Amino acid sequence: MELRLEKYCAQAAKLSRSQVKDALRRKRITLNGRPAKGGEKILPGRDVVCLDGEALAWQQHLYLMLNKPKGVVSATRDSREKTVLDLVPESFQRPGLFPAGRLDKDTTGFVLLTDDGDFAHRMLSPKHHIEKTYQALLAGQFTAEMKRRFESGCVLKDGYQCLPAAIRLLEQGENAWVEIVLREGKYHQIRRMAAACGSRVLELKRIRLGKLNLDPDLKPGECREILHKELQEILTTSTPRA
């Protein structure tokens, strides 16, 4: 797939468009050994693009960790709402980027964005049971019965039986902060599980995918590239619970 030189440089060197234009003007960018010109088309893997004499490596796929804030939808486009892709900096924008798995509008935390459909399929496939860890503020008191129902496989009001989910109390006050680990991802699952136990979710944040934690340095709305070694942490699961 051919790309415009500016887009290639922006993505490979993590530069803004204005920075790429300035580098071209200063003849810091070369294409196949000669000074590059704006608007040229290149073929990744065939053409050699250098910045200050250093070859710019092109990644076939991109993987981003986004700390999703409230009020943003997990979609590629929406005519009325801001989407997770609207938060991605220009240097990370590329065709085919999408959220691998969704958080509802009022849920915050870890969303993985990628253009790698095969990886997303492996991550989301029910047979792999990739763990998703959340912190939730539940209305009222956390009870032994609630713990039993979550860990034995809560039955939702529509009759669906969830897989067993780990839950532990983090802090108890007027309401309860808990950590919940799911191995499936049904629509509004934690909210529906809480409702089936006579409670409701006041706050919900995803803090981990597999064994990869949300980067504490990422502010709401910020994202960073996921390192290759971190991808395997996402696909690493614990031994399934009985």
Q: What is the 3-state secondary structure (H, E, C) of 194-234?
A: HHHCCCCEEEEEEEEECCEECCCCCCCCCEEECCHHHHHHH
78 is catalytic: no
The single residue of 22, 104, 158, 217 carrying the catalytic annotation is 104
For residue 20, is it left (φ>0), alpha (ψ between -120 and 50) or beta? alpha
Supply the DSSP symbol for 55.
Answer: E
Q: Both tokens of residue 165?
A: 């989910």
**Contacts of the segment 223-226: beta carbons below 8 A, 24+ positions apart:** 223/64, 223/65, 223/66, 223/67, 223/87, 223/88, 223/89, 223/92, 223/113, 224/64, 224/65, 225/62, 225/63, 225/64, 225/65, 225/92, 226/63, 226/64, 226/65, 226/112
Tell me which residues are annotated as active site.
104
